[in-house]
Amino acid sequence: MLIRAKQNSAIKKTPHDEWDYAGVNYMGLSEQMVDGKKTKLLTHPDRNGIVYTLNRENGDLVNAFKIDDTVNWVKKVDLKTGLPVRDPEYSTHMDHEAKGICPSAMGYHNQGIESYDPNKKLFFMGINHICMDWEPFMLPYRAGQFFVGATLNMYPGPKGTLGQVKAMNSVTGEFEWEVKEKFAVWGGTMATAGDLVFYGTLDGYIKALNSKTGEELWKF
């Protein structure tokens, strides 16, 4: 999958994808200071566990960092080339069960939509903190049939819960706060000018957090 800004500018997120990290995620627009200059940005938290921030006018990669420090298939992203530096321990190949891959094929981030606070310069995002074991097998393609070609075992990530909500600075790669949730935070968030962040949980609650601190103020 590519993030393309111009005809000659593209970031290759997971080349030769071995984990089904099809990065079809949200892209958020903002204007922030980069190297002392107000810059129009595009921020893309990807299913592969990496957040990419680009100059949306010229396609330059401003930063690429892990959504969570438990992302392990990649050691880092080379900011000059935009390419991931992989950790071979978590590579997948035939007749081998790779264990403890983070994130799972569901992604640490998937379909949820982030909200952005232009005053705090923060994105608020829900996280699916799920890891996996992955074993490929040969599977001929048959039209209309389920087609994966791997056996997956998914489970909570190293922090012991299935979900998180985070406040993120997309330029510096720093997280202001993190709140753990029992289940994956599959949906989006909504930030307000009154310093609140709202989101829903899979066990049936709507919650409101203090957007400055992450403190839970209300749930229903």
Active site positions, annotated: 20
Residue 205 token pair: 């609650």
Q: How many CA atoms lie within 13 A of 22 on its CB side?
A: 4
Q: What span, in angstroms and rounded, lies between the C-alpha atoms of 117 and 31?
A: 11
Please list the residues that pair with 61 across neighbouring strands: 54
